[in-house]
Amino acid sequence: MTRPLAVIVGAGVAGLAAAWWLDRAGWRSLVVERAPELRENGYMLGLSGLGFETARRMGLVERLEAASFRIDENVYRDSSGRELLRLRYRDFIRDLPYVAIRRTDLVRTLAENLPDSAEIRFGETVAGFEDKGDRVEVALAGGERVEAALLIGADGFRSATRQVLFGPDRDCLQPLGYYFSVYDVDAPKAFTTDFVSYAEPGHLAEYYALHDGRLAAMHVWRDRRPGLERAPDKLALLREVSARSHRQVRDLLDHAERAGETPVVDSLTMIDLPNWSKGRVLLLGDAAHCLTLVSGQGAGMALASAEMLERALTETGDLLPALARHEARLRPIIGRLQTRSRKMARVFIPQTAFAFRMRNFIMRHMPRSLLSRYFSGAIRSEIELAKQ
Ligand SMILES: Cc1cc2nc3c(=O)[nH]c(=O)nc-3n(C[C@H](O)[C@H](O)[C@H](O)COP(=O)(O)OP(=O)(O)OC[C@H]3O[C@@H](n4cnc5c(N)ncnc54)[C@H](O)[C@@H]3O)c2cc1C
């Protein structure tokens, strides 16, 4: 019997994981990625909890660990360089397994591990689709028409598939009141520790040392101005945001400018939709339920939701009931993570000097056992929820 075909929009974490798990369910996939190739640069992310468990079941942990970074401790400094805080990720997750890896290395590992039943087409996208009830007719931008049993929109936070399926985005966007920016910078001798943050009220700049001596830089700042992701000069925007930051932050922006880096800027906005599928079209990953970096679980949930899709397909056999079952299982977990993101966003980067000092004081003096009980307890209960 021929395997049913899924067209997957986006060769990111969700799309590639979906192709792997669909193979397990007896499907084949065509993954279309609009970028001409896999990106080289990319921000750092932490994989733990449900996502780590899925990666383990995909047999990827050894490869992910080989590409991972050892980040034991994060030193926070203020704009004068004074140490504010030292946080270890282990304080939050205790003995739960964890890898720190660049998004690009995670995506590359997934791409290298694709089954024979999946094909990736770079420089390609979906120009249109029509759900015919028993199939979806998908028109590719390159001109080809494909008949598929399922179309998956795994095209990230700004998903075009979502907008075609459910209309303009305004109702599902939940801005958390921040923007972020990520870029690489070539300044190998800038720091003696692996992970440094410079923080002041309303703004945080973080630097991770990469294997090649470069730094992965990330800024997060409070800002409610709309449309900054379209600012024509991103470095000028970052200079404005960092005007009161430590000198090192401003120097590194100069380095980035001399090297011709083009920072990515986007808002920290969650996606909250009443449904993740309609007929034979399903949204996965950030396209369906962007959690933002505040939760630290978006990539993990992109992996885990692909596995949950396979489980629902295998259990029910029929597509539409399987999509309903997939959503029913995933929704309580995503709901918990989004509630946590909303709560954490309030204290993530305090806006006023007073709130900033209070937050740092509390973080410095809070018993580490309390922190870990909260975070590792939450991650463990999400692992349990997924088993139901
Ligand atoms: C700075 C930062 C830090 C983060 N830290 C963490 C962390 O510590 N832990 C964690 O688990 N998560 C973290 N996340 C979240 C995580 O990166 C995302 O949740 C995850 O990448 C979502 O995967 P995705 O496949 O849904 O989307 P993406 O990774 O965004 O992939 C979408 C893909 O679709 C492609 N695409 C888009 N539009 C089209 C189109 N029209 N046609 C074809 N292809 C298209 C894109 O090029 C891309 O390849 C972080 C995110 C950011 C920004």
Q: How confident is the model at residue 364 (pLDDT cuts 50, 70, 90)?
A: confident
Q: Is 12 in the pocket of ligand 1 (CB under 6 A)?
A: yes
Q: Residue range 179-199: average pLDDT?
A: 85
Q: Sketch out the chain's domains with CATH numbers.
A: 5-72+104-171+271-349 (3.50.50.60)
**Ligand 1, from 32, 40, 293: best to mutate by most atoms within 8 Å of Cβ?**
293
- How far does the centroid of ligand 1 lie from the alpha carbon of residue 1, in Å? 34
d(CA 219, CA 242): 9
- For the cut 90, the answer to whether the pLDDT of residue 356 exceeds it is yes
Whole-model pTM?
Answer: 0.96
Give residue-wise pLDDT tens across range 321-353: 999 999 999 999 999 999 999 999 999 999 999
Give residue-wise pLDDT tens across range 252-305: 999 999 999 999 999 999 999 999 999 999 999 999 999 999 988 999 999 999
Nearest CA to ligand 1 atom 5: 45
**CB neighbours of 100 closer than 8 A, spacing ≥ 6?**
44, 45, 46, 47, 68, 69, 70, 71, 89, 208
- b/e per residue 54-90 (b: at least 16 CB within 10 A): bbeebebbebbeeebbebeebbbbbbeeeebbebebe
Q: Is 14 in the pocket of ligand 1 (CB under 6 A)?
A: yes
**CB neighbours of 370 closer than 8 A, spacing ≥ 6?**
none
Task: From 285, 250, 284, 286, select the one nearest 266 (Cα to Cα).
Answer: 286
Q: For the chain, how many residues are written?
A: 388
Q: Is 182 in the pocket of ligand 1 (CB under 6 A)?
A: yes
Nearest CA to ligand 1 atom 39: 155
pLDDT, averaged across the chain: 93
| Residue reference for tokens 């999946």 | 118
pLDDT at 92: 78
- For the cut 80, the answer to whether the pLDDT of residue 171 exceeds it is yes
Q: Residue range 22-51: average pLDDT?
A: 93
- How far does the centroid of ligand 1 lie from the alpha carbon of residue 286, in Å? 6
Q: Residue range 220-236: average pLDDT?
A: 97
- How far does the centroid of ligand 1 lie from the alpha carbon of residue 377, in Å? 26
CA 181 to chain centre: 13
- How far does the centroid of ligand 1 lie from the alpha carbon of residue 66, in Å? 21
Closest ligand 1 atom to 51 CA = 11
**Ligand 1, from 7, 29, 30, 34: best to mutate by most atoms within 8 Å of Cβ?**
34
Closest ligand 1 atom to 16 CA = 25
- For the cut 80, the answer to whether the pLDDT of residue 72 exceeds it is no
**CB neighbours of 314 closer than 8 A, spacing ≥ 6?**
24, 25
Q: Is 34 in the pocket of ligand 1 (CB under 6 A)?
A: yes
pLDDT at 209: 87
Closest ligand 1 atom to 100 CA = 8
Q: Is 205 in the pocket of ligand 1 (CB under 6 A)?
A: no
Q: Is 263 in the pocket of ligand 1 (CB under 6 A)?
A: no
- How far does the centroid of ligand 1 lie from the alpha carbon of residue 346, in Å? 23
Could you give phi then psi for residue 283, rounded to 5 degrees?
Answer: -100, 140
- How far does the centroid of ligand 1 lie from the alpha carbon of residue 46, in Å? 13
- For the cut 90, the answer to whether the pLDDT of residue 74 exceeds it is no
d(CA 87, CA 372): 12
pLDDT at 367: 85
pLDDT at 91: 79
Q: How confident is the model at residue 251 (pLDDT cuts 50, 70, 90)?
A: very high
| Residue reference for tokens 């080989």 | 66
Give residue-wise pLDDT tens across range 127-164: 999 999 999 999 999 999 999 999 999 999 999 999 99
- How far does the centroid of ligand 1 lie from the alpha carbon of residue 12, in Å? 6
Q: Are 312 and 23 in contact (CB under 8 A)?
A: no
Q: Is 382 in the pocket of ligand 1 (CB under 6 A)?
A: no
CA 148 to chain centre: 27
